Amino acid sequence: MSGSVGPEGVLMAGVLYGVGLGPGDPELVTLKAARLIGAAEVLAYPALAGAASFARSIAAGLIPAGAEEIVMEMPMTEARGPAQVAYDAGAARIAAVLEGGRDVVCLCEGDPFFYGSFMYLFARLSERFAVEVVPGVTSVTACAARAGVPLVARNERLEVLPGTLPEDELAARIGGAEAVAVMKVGRHLGKIRRVLAGLGLEGRAVYVERATLREEVVLPLAQAPEAAPYFSMILVTKGGDPWL
């Protein structure tokens, strides 16, 4: 996937592909994503500093031998500043490849534009280079499928909330929603449990951890462990069974 030559013989810039990989099961990678990865000369992906890349592990069986790999190491900190510096550095390395006429396939967990880190690269590079985004299976739909929980039907509304919200805001938003997916659970599990118990909804909540992976856990929230990893979600449905 090298850049093309323009009408005057000038080498054209490469294309940046933001490729969604889905929630973790390699079989949930789309055919288009698999084709692009399999033909890639240059791949880019994030990884926590000092750790293996989850995105790369999903796509490992598709990566061609000899492909150049740009690893964007993300600092393990809640502060936004260090992460922005890492994205700046990653975007600069990708831009150098694109300017040389080669395409770059960026591997993205889940969907690139649904809480995806690719959007930070998109913001830095899309005004200068052609970018194509390939959607992936989202964690919300994967968790619902693995838990066997239809989320919404007919005219119902689904609200997706980050567990990082303040407790009073979570309570207000969940209280006014018909169905809820709470993401980014992690260390906020206790807070989310308190909110749902206060609303009388703990019995309507399902806890899903590492959906589609070998270590997957699906439990009623009341039976969930005390500590939750980053890759966990809580699904709440308030109605009966409107799909029947």
Tokens of 103: 């395409």
CB contact at 8 A, 163 and 186? yes
Assess whether 113 and 34 both reside in one domain.
Answer: yes
Structural domain contains residue 2:
no
Structural domain contains residue 223:
yes
Domain containing residue 31: 15-134
Assess whether 98 and 35 both reside in one domain.
Answer: yes
Prediction pTM value: 0.89
Give the CATH number of the domain where residue 176 resides. Answer: 3.30.950.10
Q: Rounded distance, CA 113 to CA 170, Å?
A: 23
- Domain boundary (85, 118, 134) is at 134
Cα 148–chain centre separation: 21
Structural domain contains residue 1:
no
Assess whether 113 and 148 both reside in one domain.
Answer: no
What is the number of structural domains in the chain?
Answer: 2
Assess whether 30 and 75 both reside in one domain.
Answer: yes
Query: What pLDDT digit, counting tens, does each position of 81-132 carry?
Result: 888 999 999 999 999 999 999 999 999 999 999 999 999 999 999 999 999 9
**Mean pLDDT for the chain overall:** 92
Average pLDDT over residues 180-202: 95
Query: What pLDDT digit, counting tens, does each position of 205-233 carry?
Result: 999 999 999 999 999 999 999 999 988 99
